[in-house]
Amino acid sequence: MFKPWRTIEHLKAVDQQWPAAFQSHRFSDRENEIMKYFRVRYECLDARDDYSAIMRSHGNQAENSEAVIDVDTNSELCIEGHYNATVEDYITDEQAYMSTYGATGTHRKENRREIRDTLYGVGWLDEYSGSSERETYRAEDRLIPDSHISGKIWRAIVATKKQEQIRERMCRRGLSSTKDTSPSGQFVGMPNVVRVMSLDELQRGSEFIKHENDQVERIAQDFSLNEEQMRAYHIAARHILGREPAQLKMYVGGMGGTGKTQVLKAIATLLEQRGEKHRLLIMAPTGTAAALLGGSTYHYILGLREGDDGKLTAKRMAQIKDRLEGVDIIFFDEVSMLSCIDMYKICERLALATGNEGAAFGGINIIFAGDFAQLPPVIGKESAALYSGSVGVGDINAVTQNGQQEAMGKAMWHQIDTVVILRQNMRQKTQSEKDSKLRQALENMRYKACTSDDIVFLRSLIVGSKNTPASKIAELKYRHQSIITSWNDKKDEINRLGVHKFARDTGQEINVFYSTDEATMSRPETQSKRQGKTKKPEKRFKLKQISPAMREALWSLPPNCNKQLIPGTLSICVGLPVMIRYNEATELCMTRGQEGTVAGWQESIGPHGKPILDVLFVKLTKPPQNVKFDGLPVNVVPLTTVTTKGVSYE
């Protein structure tokens, strides 16, 4: 490093030993200073390992349980010297350890500061002078059930009601499978049966067909479907009525506002009026999109869980088959967010669940909807999308498992043989000057062809511009609208500030509930394989228990500091807008992405003297169907606490 060389002779003589050559070389003061600290990091790591071994030996004698704390020795904290200081600070001064920010923590802190300054700058946090919100939400309106039921019992009630819904659905399926729906009086599903029909039967059959046609047209009129929507609706209706035996594989496209959801509602209404609502299953890539349509995420329906390495157990397959029981029409929204690999996994699960591996999508009729000019897949973006030109091209992709799955997924998408494009905008029917400009700008934006006039118009809508005063965002109709951001750091800060703003505007106090964190006895895997890659084992140090200082630090961390995005504390008040994060019971509209407001809660005091949440009562906002629990108002559902194991912090 400090002596130029090309051959060994430049470093030492032939008969000279390496230590002698090193000692004979004259190093400069700067070189000696650099060499002095060569092994500091490794000496510290050795000291840490020795200390951990001593603590383990003591811990095994005194206590068997240990808390596992993740520390990656290859992280930026080590490179910048924070890692060694962190361990030593923890050993000698835990408070100093908890207040230390590494490179990642500093970056997250800066993100939160940036969004906080932005929200203050546009007036989003300004105090609202009106009084209507104080009259709408009051702390004394908090829902308190007549009888106190623990969270454990509420979980049992939800599970029981969920099973009742499933049994009712199974009964409807059984009735539908035996119902005589043919014009001739012949039971459906009886092949190779020939029967002489009388003139009266033929006439009744004609009347039956006319009744079905009238029903289809009446629903179309009720939903005010235009010509393009009618085309998609009639294609689906022919399959619903059994007049088209071939499998339906259709894509309904169009920009936002062209009425794709209206087509779905008309199809669902037709099935409902025929007593066959169970035949339709609605799926989407995200919880929010699924909740808006009264469906579920395809991850939940098909058992595609993140981090399970694609394993399909017998229990999970039984659950998938149960969810698909009696389903012969799938409506899949926001198809643009599917990657080719996603499409492959969906087709694979459907084929395995139905046992029909020779047909695309397991032989189930499927309708995809979406706009490919909108959101691309989260992972891979445009290069992994169904329209990607790079998927399935080249020899390298053909020899890898991912490449083969991508190619098969894209091939499955090419099985779509019916396409209906909706062009008429049904959402923006008014024709004011601003409406016309906005519609034109949105259409141009879809094709990345915005003109200078479009840019000028869109900029005029930015809060704080000359044409839109900053104070406008503080008006009531804008105060509690959703804010879109790409980063969890900023999302956490928006939520934190939003809770305080809502409580201030409604004249309420914030109720803070704390998590109950305990040490875990499970030891992490040293290696794991995912998508053909081997994960490098992580360095960890272990603690026998969570100290009070560490517990306080965990409570103060933002949710995005752990991989599961679980908050250490939850701040709520009556009327606060919330969103359900997990599929508690899709049959009861307790679905991931379903929005609602806080109606009330039950609390208790935890083992550490802090209030903990036992049950949260949420009033659902525009659920697909009404839900009623005994002792609760309509559309108010109980959410109970859950235990998450193996939470790791970054």
Confidence category of residue 465, pLDDT binned at 50, 70, 90: low
Least confident of 57-61, 489-493, 576-580: 57-61
379 and 320, same structural domain? Answer: yes
DSSP 279-294: GEEEEESSHHHHHHHT
Q: Does any domain span residue 111?
A: no
67's enclosing H/E stretch is strand 67-70
Confidence category of residue 306, pLDDT binned at 50, 70, 90: low
- The arithmetic mean of pLDDT across residues 194-205, rounded, is 63
At a CB cut-off of 8 Å and minimum separation 6, what does 420 contact?
228, 231, 232, 235, 250, 251, 252, 253
Say if residues 537 and 480 touch (Cβ distance below 8 Å). Answer: no
Last residue of a domain, which of 412, 445, 479?
A: 479
Helix 260-273 and helix 227-240, axial crossing angle in degrees, nearest 10 = 30
Least confident of 246-250, 312-316, 390-394: 390-394
pLDDT over threshold 70, residue 392? yes
Say if residues 540 and 68 touch (Cβ distance below 8 Å). Answer: yes
Q: Does any domain span residue 514?
A: no
- The arithmetic mean of pLDDT across residues 294-316, rounded, is 78
Compute the distance between CA of residue 407 and CA of residue 355 in angstroms, rounded to an integer.
Answer: 22
Number of domains forming the structure of the chain: 2
Confidence category of residue 466, pLDDT binned at 50, 70, 90: low
Q: Does any domain span residue 33?
A: no
413 and 323, same structural domain? Answer: yes
475 and 361, same structural domain? Answer: no
375 and 275, same structural domain? Answer: yes
Q: Kindly list the distances between the CA atom of residue 90 and the CA atoms of 41, 73, 96, 246, 641, in Å, as whole numbers in the listed order.
A: 17, 16, 7, 68, 31
Compute the distance between CA of residue 237 and CA of residue 370 in angstroms, rounded to an integer.
Answer: 20
266 and 407, same structural domain? Answer: yes
Q: Does any domain span residue 325?
A: yes
pLDDT digits (tens, 9 = 90+) for 242-295: 888 889 999 999 888 888 989 999 999 999 898 888 889 999 888 777 777 778
Q: Does any domain span residue 639?
A: no
Q: Does any domain span residue 610?
A: no
pLDDT digits (tens, 9 = 90+) for 322-368: 888 888 899 999 999 999 999 999 999 999 999 988 889 999 999 99
pLDDT over threshold 70, residue 219? yes
Confidence category of residue 451, pLDDT binned at 50, 70, 90: very high
395 and 437, same structural domain? Answer: no
Q: Does any domain span residue 61?
A: no
257 Rama class: left (phi>0) / alpha (psi -120 to 50) / beta? left
336 and 253, same structural domain? Answer: yes
Give CA angle at 432 (430, 433), nearest 5°: 140
Q: Does any domain span residue 337?
A: yes
473 and 413, same structural domain? Answer: no
pLDDT digits (tens, 9 = 90+) for 469-513: 544 676 777 777 778 888 888 888 999 998 998 888 888 899 999
- The fraction of the chain above a pLDDT of 90, given in percent, is 20
At a CB cut-off of 8 Å and minimum separation 6, what does 95 contact?
549
DSSP 48-61: HHHHHHHHHHHHHH
Say if residues 159 and 166 touch (Cβ distance below 8 Å). Answer: no
Compute the distance between CA of residue 240 and CA of residue 268 in angstroms, rounded to an integer.
Answer: 10
pLDDT score for 105:
78
pLDDT over threshold 50, residue 129? yes
Instruction: Kindly give the pairing relationship between strand 511-514 and strand 296-297.
Output: unpaired
- The arithmetic mean of pLDDT across residues 174-203, rounded, is 53
CATH number at residue 273: 3.40.50.300
- The arithmetic mean of pLDDT across residues 120-125, rounded, is 80
- What token pair was written down for 540? 């960890």
284 and 368, same structural domain? Answer: yes
448 and 343, same structural domain? Answer: no
469 and 397, same structural domain? Answer: no
Q: What average pLDDT does the chain have?
A: 77
DSSP 547-581: -HHHHHHHHHS-GGGBTT---SEEEE-TT-EEE--
Closest CA to 638 of 3, 148, 61, 116: 148
- The arithmetic mean of pLDDT across residues 106-129, rounded, is 83
350 and 257, same structural domain? Answer: yes
Which domain does 269 fall in, by range?
227-421
pLDDT over threshold 60, residue 529? no
Say if residues 287 and 593 touch (Cβ distance below 8 Å). Answer: yes
